[in-house]
Amino acid sequence: MSEHSEATSCFTAAGARSLRGPEAARNYRSQGYLSITDALSGEFCRNVIGSLHQANMIQVESRDLRGTTRFLTLNGQELIARAPALEALYLEFANVVSELTGERYTPLDNRKVGLSLNYTPPGGRFVRHFDRNEMTVSLYLNEVQDGELEIWPNIVSPFLDLFGRYKLPLALRLTRLMKAISIPPRAGTVVVFSRRTVHGVAPVVGERSRVSVIMAYDRPGRSFMHVPDYYGQGSSRVLLDSVSA
């Protein structure tokens, strides 16, 4: 099986159609993001979640003025070793992102930071931020109570780029003036957005953990090999005995 056909098998028929073509590109450009429900097959989502049994996850917990970020993660190399189908899908979404934007984007040269899995337990969340890479694709693998992806598309304007290290604080101030677009976690949903989008994950409640895959893309030739391991070095590890997803 070719990498293209292997990636295609991860999509539903409707999802494959909705992510490609002129209408999808128009929707992305007019909205500043694209969200497609039921884009990925249930079998694909279940297989990736099932691969996490006994995974040695990186534990991320940090606190600042934005609040507390708390979740578990696997970097790209470890994730692909457990769920090999993600390698072909990562490459395929580079084509999707390029078609949506009309620009050429490629997977990051550093697979550790270019691809990752986020496992957010009840009570966990991810504070508002924007990404360093140009384009991001988020894949929801299950449904949980709350835990919405909250986005403010294109709020990081080229004008804010002029403010250097003050860019994030200024962008966060703007988010207080604008209502977020909330995208609930449902298995198979795909969300595409750019680095100009401030985003975060609302607290997860209930008994199930939120599971998503994050794929990062950038311009050809830009290197991320100097970036430290995902979410910094020296993070503690947690063995995932059971998957509450």
Confidence of residue 236 (pLDDT cuts 50, 70, 90): confident
Q: Considering only CA atoms, which of 131, 166, 171, 132 is closest in space to residue 152?
A: 171
Contact 37, 189 (CB under 8 A): yes
- Asked if the model's pLDDT at residue 20 lies above 90, the reply is yes
What's the rounded Cα separation, in Å, for the pair 135 and 154?
12
Instruction: Kindly report, residue by residue over 128-145, the tens digit of the pLDDT.
Output: 999 999 999 999 999 999
pTM summary value = 0.94
Compare 228 and 196 and report the one with higher pLDDT. 196
The beta strand positions in 20-103, using DSSP E, are 33-36, 55-64, 67-75
Task: State residue 244's pLDDT score.
Answer: 83
Angle subtended by helix axes 85-101 and 42-50, to nearest 10: 130
Q: In the chain, pLDDT over 70 holds for what percent of residues?
A: 96
CA atoms within 13 A on the CB side of 133: 30
| Mean of the per-residue pLDDT values of the chain | 94
- Asked if the model's pLDDT at residue 233 lies above 60, the reply is no
Q: Which two tokens stand for residue 209?
A: 């953990």
Name the residue ranges covered by the structural domains of the chain: 3-220
Instruction: Kindly report, residue by residue over 34-66, the tens digit of the pLDDT.
Output: 999 999 999 999 999 999 999 999 999 989 989
Q: Which fold has domain 3-220?
A: Jelly Rolls (2.60.120)
